[in-house]
Amino acid sequence: MAHHHHPRTMQTGKNNRLFWRFLGWYRFVKRSAVDSLHAIDGVVTFVFGLVILRDDRHHPIAVPPPNLGGHLAAMVGSADGSDVSFSVGGETLIRAHRAVLAARSPVFRAELLGSMAEATMPCVTLHDIELATFRALLHFVYTDALPPRDILSPSFFKKLFAAADRFALDRLKLMCAQKLWESVTVETVAETLACAEMHSCPDLKSRCLDFFVEENNFRKVVVTGGYLRLMQGFPSVIDEIKARLEI
């Protein structure tokens, strides 16, 4: 079908509308006419113009994925809007935001929004916690995730575990517990058990106990240094182990 704007327009056949409408169109050109006038070496070239119409009803507006965590993550350590600084491990000052910390931890809420000194002090000193641990803790507070580093050793997790317990960040505590559990071996189970007992984590404790009393494991564990420390510091746990073994 030749487009009627083209200079070499072909006249279409009579508009026998009724009949040709069955085919969807009613203007046709006879083959003989095409052959005689437009064929070049037996080849006819058809040129099309294509117009695509968009139907807006089925074309939804693209909404980007959530980015709350990303924006908050950007705030970690940022001075913008910061109303408190933490002094950790002696010198380093880490900036933070009272409202965010208070929202995430009841301990921080009592400390930063309460009626004692820290509520009005611009800088708060934290004792008994390492810088790396605090940074990881802070990262969790703002993003709900662990810091994206590959090498995080079990001992690091133990410290983070204790810090999470201290500052009442329960989810972080269980994340650390999971990490500790993942990496537990016969060498480390006693230590881990002691840690779980000290910082009151029944989930970790019960798994460690189960691991402990397995036939193959027990004989190896009792010779570790961790077991010694367990006996010294946590005699009640030893009793529990003994009770388990007697069954």
Partner 1 sequence: MSSRKKPSRIEPFRHKVETDPRFFEKAWRKLDDAIREIYNHNASGLSFEELYRTAYNLVLHKHGPKLYDKLTENMEDHLQEMRVSIEAAQGGLFLVELQRKWDDHNKALQMIRDILMYMDRVFIPTNKKTPVFDLGLDLWRDTIVRSPKIHGRLLDTLLDLIHRERTGEVINRSLMRSTTKMLMDLGSSVYQDDFERPFLEVSASFYSGESQKFIECCSCGEYLKKAQQRLDEEAERVSQYMDAKTDEKITAVVVKEMLANHMQRLILMENSGLVNMLVEDKYEDLTMMYSLFQRVPDGHSTIKSVMNSHVKETGKDMVMDPERLKDPVDFVQRLLNEKDKYDSIVTTSFSNDKSFQNALNSSFEHFINLNNRCPEFISLYVDDKLRKGMKEANEEDVETVLDKVMMLFRYLQEKDLFEKYYKQHLAKRLLSGKAASDDSERSMLVKLKTECGYQFTSKLEGMFNDLKTSHDTTQRFYAGTPDLGDAPTISVQILTTGSWPTQPCNTCNLPPEILGVSEMFRGFYLGTHNGRRLTWQTNMGTADIKTVFGNGSKHELNVSTYQMCVLMLFNSADCLSYRDIEQTTAIPSADLKRCLQSLALVKGKNVLRKEPMSRDISDDDNFYVNDKFTSKLFKVKIGTVATQKESEPEKMETRQRVEEDRKPQIEAAIVRIMKSRRVLDHNSIVTEVTKQLQPRFMPNPVVIKKRVESLIEREFLERDKTDRKLYRYLA
Query: Do you know the residue count of the chain?
Result: 247
**In the set 200, 242, 244, 245, which binds partner 1 (CB under 8 A)?**
200
C-beta closer to partner 1: residue 55 or 182: 182
Our finding on whether 233 is near partner 1 (CB under 8 A) is yes
**In the set 114, 171, 219, 244, which binds partner 1 (CB under 8 A)?**
114
The closest of 156, 233, 165 to 193, measured between CA atoms, is 233
Q: Judged by CB under 8 A, which stretch of 2-10, 18-26, 96-104, 180-188 contacts partner 1?
A: 180-188
178 three-state secondary structure: helix
**In the set 166, 174, 218, 222, which binds partner 1 (CB under 8 A)?**
166
Our finding on whether 125 is near partner 1 (CB under 8 A) is yes
Strand order in the sheet with 84-88: 92-96, 84-88, 123-126
Q: Contact 199/165 with Cβ under 8 angstroms?
A: yes
Q: Contact 166/133 with Cβ under 8 angstroms?
A: no
Dihedral-angle region of residue 159 (phi above 0 means left; psi in -120 to 50 means alpha; beta otherwise): alpha
Our finding on whether 235 is near partner 1 (CB under 8 A) is no
Query: 213 CB contacts (<8 Å, ≥6 apart)?
Result: 241, 244, 245
Least distance between partner 1 and beta carbon 92 (Å): 16
Residues 90-109 that bind partner 1 (CB under 8 A): 106-107
Size of the site for partner 1 (CB under 8 A): 45
> Given the rule CB under 8 A, which residues bind partner 1?
106-107, 110-111, 114-120, 124-128, 153-155, 158, 162, 166, 168, 181-188, 191, 194-195, 198-200, 211, 216-217, 220, 225-226, 229, 233
